[in-house]
Amino acid sequence: MKAFNTFVWSFIIVCGFMVAATSISKAAETKKACVMQKDQKTGKEKEVCKEIKVHKKLEGTAVPEKK
């Protein structure tokens, strides 16, 4: 029974590592987009930046037009 219990726990751990590895490899690529904004209180301009996900564009066939 002890050997079976050890096998089950090792199987669960290995599956957990596999799930973690696949989720890391499929992370979306990000790029930084910055915009200059004027602060309403002080009137000074400051740079506001955000991280944006960049998705890979898939190529396909053109959709035929209706006649």
Q: With bands split at pLDDT 50, 70 and 90, how would you rate the model's confidence at 3? A: confident
Domain spans in the chain, listed from the N-terminal domain onward = 2-54
pLDDT, tens only, 32-63:
999 999 988 888 999 999 999 887 777 888 88
Beta strand residue intervals within 1-67, DSSP E:
29-38, 45-54
User: What would you report as the CA-atom Rg of the chain, rounded to the nearest whole angstrom?
Assistant: 25
Q: What pTM did the predictor assign?
A: 0.38
- By CB neighbour count within 10 A (0-12 exposed, 13-18 middle, 19+ buried), where does 32 fall? exposed
